[in-house]
Amino acid sequence: MKKFLVSLLLSGAAVPAFATVNISAPTNYETTGPSVQFVASATTTCSKGVASMGVYVDNNRYYVVGGASMNATLTLPTGTHNTVVQEWDYCGGSSAAARTVTVTTTAGVNISSPANGATVGSPVNFVASATTSCSAGVSAMGVYVNNNLIYTVQGASLNTQLSLGAGWNYVVIQDWDKCGGVSKKALNVDVTGSSGNTIWAIQGAGGWNKWGELPPTMNICNAPCNYQVGFSMQQHEGSVSKSGNGTQFSLWGTTPYSAVLFSNPILGQGSWINTDSNHTLIPKLHNFTVNADIYVTNPAVTQAIELDINMYLNSLGLEWGTQCNHLADNSWDYWDNVNAHWVSSGAPCKLNSGWNHVTLQVQRESNNWLLYQTITMNGVTYTLNKSVPPMWVPSSWYGMTLNYQMDGNYNMSSNTTYVDNLNVTYW
């Protein structure tokens, strides 16, 4: 190709323009209903630009629009179609990209929220449902963001809040039916800068500390804790993982209802992200979203699972503690900082065998009280709106930590869970 261009330049002949077509929707091999949305754009080296774009379906031209972009919804007959999006530039050149689309009246993904092209804040509320011609029904649904699977839920519907980075995000919502079929639908969303910053994949990062906790006071002990409670952590686990970078957490022992606390300093003192040595970042932060995928190997012996995010500044300690009190009252509890005890929120919590997706939304109020806003588990959101005061801590404490804790049952049955896609968004 380089020799060809050089020859053209030396001969004085016109150099052809080069162009590309980028199709955002539909995705290749997408299964959808009769209304198919085509979203695409084109670029060209032609100095005069792109003249128009069009859509061909099975070699028949269905649609043409002027300019270098398109966003059109076309009604197609049922069946599998070869579609091509093509551009024509003002220099006489053209370029194309193809997609195979299957149209059916009995299968597909329907996205209620957000709309394609919408501008949204983070976390983003995703609402969608799926239908299938498979007589056994839909097995699960999932959300891909920028080609990464970040959320799955069992069944034919999803309703969840997910933290997305600022800017344009390419999203695909997909279903898997019980006959081996797949349907998907794509959209682009613009997440505003107010969504803040996200610390990704904390489960695979450095900086983790771990301790045993012994009842009844839950005093801290270091391994091996006289064998009353044992624990381990294995990072970069790929066999039980959504991303290929999960972490295995294990618990065993002899003292009933012992626990193990895993903690990571994500900001401030000891942080591997930002030590905030000038104390300019953390005082400005008021909103936090925690997302996690948690794989439960044996719900029958999983007493409780805890996710906390903590903030320490100006002699104040703010611990947004939440636990799924699975084998006690099957509810989500929140932590009362001052009185140091758990309070039932009334929101139900049942751990599924396999993957469970959890999203916590909390806030530091203007008076430094802690507000527990919402908990979303496996696509169902519970509104708490519970406020509690902070506690006093040594003035030297400064930073933020993220905790994951497993509680043992009445006979300390050996137990293993896996955590993946553990992310914190703050602003």
For position 178, which CATH number holds? 2.60.40.10
Give me the half-sphere count of Cα atoms (radius 13 Å) on the Cβ side of residue 181.
Answer: 21
| Domain shared by 267 and 382, yes or no | yes
| Domain shared by 71 and 117, yes or no | no
Residue 376 CA: distances (Å) to CA of 122, 194, 286, 316, 385: 14, 21, 20, 28, 13
User: Which of 43-52, 117-126, 301-310 has maximum average pLDDT?
Assistant: 301-310
| Domain shared by 304 and 412, yes or no | yes
Between 7 and 359, the higher pLDDT residue: 359
| Domain shared by 334 and 366, yes or no | yes
DSSP, res 352: P
Over the stretch 85-108, which tens digit does the pLDDT of each residue have?
999 999 988 899 999 998 876 678
**Sequential DSSP letters for 202-237:** GGGSS--EEEEEETTTTEEE-TTGGGTEEEEEEEEE
Which residues constitute the domain of residue 333? 198-426
| Domain shared by 407 and 293, yes or no | yes
Q: 72-86, 168-182, 189-203, 265-279 — which is least confidently predicted?
A: 189-203
249 close to 417: Cβ distance less than 8 angstroms: yes
pLDDT class of 5 with cuts at 50, 70, 90: very low
Q: Give domain status of residue 202, yes or no.
A: yes
pLDDT of residue 17: 59
Measuring CA to CA, which residue among 359, 332, 325 is closest to residue 346?
Answer: 332
Between 161 and 388, the higher pLDDT residue: 388
Measuring CA to CA, which residue among 199, 93, 207 is closest to residue 424?
Answer: 199
| Domain shared by 223 and 158, yes or no | no
Domain boundary among 144, 178, 195: 195
DSSP, res 399: E
| Domain shared by 23 and 113, yes or no | no
- Site of tokens 């703050």: 426
Tell me whether residue 341 is exposed, middle or buried, using C-beta atoms within 10 angstroms of its C-beta: 0 to 12, 13 to 18, 19 or more. Answer: exposed
The amino acid that residue 227 corresponds to is Y
Measure the N-to-C terminal CA separation of the chain; round to a whole number of Å: 49
Pairing of strands 94-103, 30-32: parallel
**Sequential DSSP letters for 262-279:** EEEEEEETT-SS---TTS
Residue 414 CA: distances (Å) to CA of 120, 156, 250, 406, 407: 44, 34, 7, 11, 11
DSSP, res 397: -
CA 203 – CA 92 distance, rounded (Å)? 53
pLDDT class of 1 with cuts at 50, 70, 90: very low
| Domain shared by 99 and 128, yes or no | no
pLDDT class of 192 with cuts at 50, 70, 90: confident
